[in-house]
């Protein structure tokens, strides 16, 4: 990379999240889903088998349905995931700057815009020589965390000169992250009263990924256990579930929506639900949990459903990310 411009830091952090369509309409969803579902980390099937299904069936049916769901959570500023990630990047840069760590922090999306490669090009043009990739996935998963590294590697294959680079593989048990989660629950309880049941809903993955050695399931369980310890919750007041199933393969269990329905049928009149695996609110939290999950619980006989928002731009969350970044940057000239 080129020499830094005057007054431009030579080190940058790329805060990466999954991605989002450009608009809540079918054409934008078709582009987004085509990129997302073509990633071999996401769908682990041979391309010759999967691509005809994807192009011939899924991309002709699913975009319109997904667009309707996105429309229910879209904001005047745009996609919630992008809005929150942009805010997080700006706040993280400010938090680090206040502590004498002069780095650039830019948001990036694995699928959609701003793309990881495009952001790396922009940083190179600004003279950045060192890049820390910080995927905003607390729990490591091949389909998310490793895919982020794949995007960096794909960009690097086209470069003559590569920047020094480091990569944060996850932070599922980071004390600052757990503290931020626990405090978000406590603040919710102060406002709404304490629920006798807390459901933690993590994004689902096929069971096959676990048997192949992916640590995601175990890290989700560890996060939930640490959160329960911080809140002094007995085991009977916590459930760990997995959401967002896709396709016919066996997925990690128990599934979130059936669990919510079962709790209601068993006499639980109130549940609180938090999604610790999501660093920012998005379609999967705002529509799938706060809307569909609520409807399922109430339809099964529940009376009160409370969704606890993601950490988003909470100061404790930014501080946790800041300390994680500081540790990863140690030894680099700033």
What is the distance between the alpha carbons of residues 251 and 84, in angstroms, rounded to a whole number? 28
What are the backbone angles phi and psi of residue 24, rounded to the nearest 5°? -85, 60
What are the backbone angles phi and psi of residue 54, rounded to the nearest 5°? -65, -50
Contacts 24+ apart (CB under 8 A), 320-324: 320/171, 320/174, 320/176, 320/177, 320/179, 320/180, 321/15, 321/88, 321/92, 321/95, 321/134, 321/136, 322/92, 322/95, 322/96, 322/99, 323/174, 323/176, 324/134, 324/168, 324/171, 324/174, 324/176, 324/177
Question: In angstroms, how far is CA 74 from the centroid of its own chain?
Answer: 17
Tell me which residue of 73, 100, 75 sits closest to 86, measured CA to CA.
Answer: 75
Position of tokens 């995931």?
81
Instruction: For residue 245, give both structure tokens.
Output: 């199933």
Q: For position 287, what pLDDT does the model report?
A: 98
What is the distance between the alpha carbons of residues 150 and 145, in angstroms, rounded to a whole number? 9
Domains, the chain, in order of start with CATH, read 11-171+316-329 (3.40.50.1400), 175-308 (3.40.50.1400)
Tell me which residue of 176, 175, 177, 179 sits closest to 187, measured CA to CA.
Answer: 179
Q: How many CA atoms lie within 13 A of 246 on its CB side?
A: 15
- Binding residues for Fe(2+) are 203, 284
Q: Which residues of the chain have pLDDT under 50?
A: none
- Binding residues are 203, 284
Q: For position 70, what pLDDT does the model report?
A: 98
Cβ partners under 8 Å of residue 222, min gap 6: 172, 173
Q: For position 9, what pLDDT does the model report?
A: 85
**Cis ω on the peptide bond leading into residue 114 (within 30° of 0)?**
yes
Q: In what order do the strands lie in the sheet with 164-167?
A: 104-112, 11-20, 130-135, 164-167
What is the distance between the alpha carbons of residues 81 and 95, in angstroms, rounded to a whole number? 21
Instruction: For residue 286, give both structure tokens.
Output: 């705002």
Position of tokens 């080190």?
11
């Amino acid at each position: 990379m080129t020499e830094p411009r005057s007054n431009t830091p030579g080190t940058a952090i790329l805060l990466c999240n999954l991605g989002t369509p450009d608009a809540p309409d079918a054409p934008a969803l078709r582009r987004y889903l085509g990129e997302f579902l073509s990633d071999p980390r996401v769908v682990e099937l041979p391309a010759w088998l999967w691509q005809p299904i994807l192009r011939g069936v899924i991309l002709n049916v699913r975009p319109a349905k997904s667009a309707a769901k996105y429309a229910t959570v879209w904001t005047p500023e745009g996609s919630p995931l992008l809005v929150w990630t942009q805010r997080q990047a700006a706040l993280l840069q400010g938090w680090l700057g206040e502590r004498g760590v002069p780095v650039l922090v830019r948001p990036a999306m694995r699928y959609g815009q701003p793309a990881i490669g495009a952001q790396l090009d922009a940083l190179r043009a600004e003279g950045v020589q060192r890049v820390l990739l910080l995927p905003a996935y607390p729990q490591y998963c091949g389909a998310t965390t490793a895919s982020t590294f794949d995007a960096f590697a794909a960009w690097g294959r086209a470069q003559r000169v590569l920047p020094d680079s480091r990569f944060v593989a996850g932070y599922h048990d980071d004390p600052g992250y757990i503290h931020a989660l626990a405090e978000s629950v406590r603040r919710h309880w102060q406002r709404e009263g304490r629920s006798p049941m807390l459901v933690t809903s993590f994004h689902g993955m096929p069971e096959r990924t676990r048997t192949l050695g992916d640590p995601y399931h175990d890290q989700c369980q560890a996060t939930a256990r640490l959160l329960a310890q911080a809140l002094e919750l007995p085991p009977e007041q916590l459930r760990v579930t997995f959401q967002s199933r896709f396709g016919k393969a066996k997925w990690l269990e128990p599934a979130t929506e059936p669990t919510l329905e079962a709790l209601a049928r068993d006499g639980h009149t109130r549940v609180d639900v938090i999604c610790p695996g999501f660093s920012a609110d998005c379609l999967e939290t705002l529509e799938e949990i706060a809307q569909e999950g609520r409807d399922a619980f109430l339809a099964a006989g529940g009376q009160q459903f409370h969704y606890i928002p993601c950490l988003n731009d909470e100061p404790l969350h930014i501080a946790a990310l800041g300390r994680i970044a500081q540790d990863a940057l140690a030894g680099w000239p700033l």
